[in-house]
Amino acid sequence: MNQPARQTVCVMGATGFVGRYCVEALLHAGHSVRALVRDPEKASEFPANDRMSVVSGDLFSGGVLDELCQGAHAIVNCVGIRREFPNRGITFVRLHTRATQHAVDAAERNGLERFIQISALGTTPGGGDGYTKSKWASEQIVRGSSLDWTILRPSIVHGPDGEFMQMVRDWVLGRQSPRFFLPYFLRFDGVEGFPPIPKFVAAQVQPIAVEDVAHAVVSAIATPNAIGEIYPLVGPETVDWPTLLKTVRDAMPYGSKKPVIGLPAPAGVGMAYAARFLGLADALPFGPSEPALAAKDSTANIAKAKAHLGLEPRPFSSSVKAYADSI
């Protein structure tokens, strides 16, 4: 189906890291954008533009998503969390799976044609952690809908105002635990020697710039060939976790040489569950799902995204150096 060149596009999760860049890219492409904002005060973060409008409210409140979707052509679902806080109602099931179901239902009720789902690289039916399971369930909801859908699966998304980069900055500055080193997680890779000694390895990742994810969103909306497709989105550089952290640390203007130290992922999972049980979840910068996720490789081939979406992702190292002063 040929899509009109300029459309009204709804964005859920519009004040989040990826959502903000999607809003900006959509406006730059000439679309009208209708952003869902739970906190009306955050609407001031959006650029002034007569093609920009805001719907305030909680996506689970009656009528809010219908107001968002009425008369629109497409919706981009950027709602997502990296860790849970169950005592606050912040869970993967609620904000990934249920939120996606609400969005799909509203899109179908209001006659929208296109649905762009921001998922995550590594999403598979056999994911053992809550994050991956909820992302997979969300994808199945989208794929089972009557909408012309596209699913984007980015690797680690980086940018100066992203949560990940700001977390690393706080580690470097000692603002957040662990205050004396930069941690990453290792996966078990068998045993070696005699007596046998456990062997652990760091995962390989291909970080992608947030601007490149936003480009993929805009391009997918305008590309009929993207309908019914799933695209992994990764950057051109493959690095392991210690290299990634050292790259960010060394690019920052603080002169820090804090050590980068790997921890076995099962130990990290145990620490997170123990902290949650003791009511100290906020004392750790990660939840139970994150150590397991960080121990898995996050790499992919993006030939299809290049061919269909014109994606030419920017390198990680040079990008970080260019924006390091702004983190």
Q: How far is CA 149 from CA 58, 211, 220, 225, in A?
A: 23, 21, 9, 11
Residue 3 above 70 pLDDT?
A: no
Prior bond of 195 cis (ω within 30°) = yes
What integer pLDDT is reported at residue 201 of this predicted model? 94
Confidence of residue 2 (pLDDT cuts 50, 70, 90): very low
pLDDT tens per residue, range 79-129: 999 989 888 899 999 999 999 999 999 999 999 999 999 999 999 887 678
Can you tell me the mean pLDDT for 235-245? 97
Identify the helix (H) or strand (E) that includes residue 292.
helix 289-294
Residue 28: CB atoms within 10 A of its CB come to 12
Of 232, 238, 225, which Cα lies nearest the Cα of 303? 232
Q: Is the pTM of this model over 0.85?
A: yes
Residue 1 above 50 pLDDT?
A: no
Identify the helix (H) or strand (E) that includes residue 153.
strand 148-154
CATH number of the structural domain 8-159+207-234+299-314: 3.40.50.720
| Spatial separation of the C-alpha atoms in residues 265 and 299, rounded to whole Å | 19
pLDDT tens per residue, range 272-322: 888 888 887 777 878 888 898 999 999 999 999 999 999 999 999 999 999
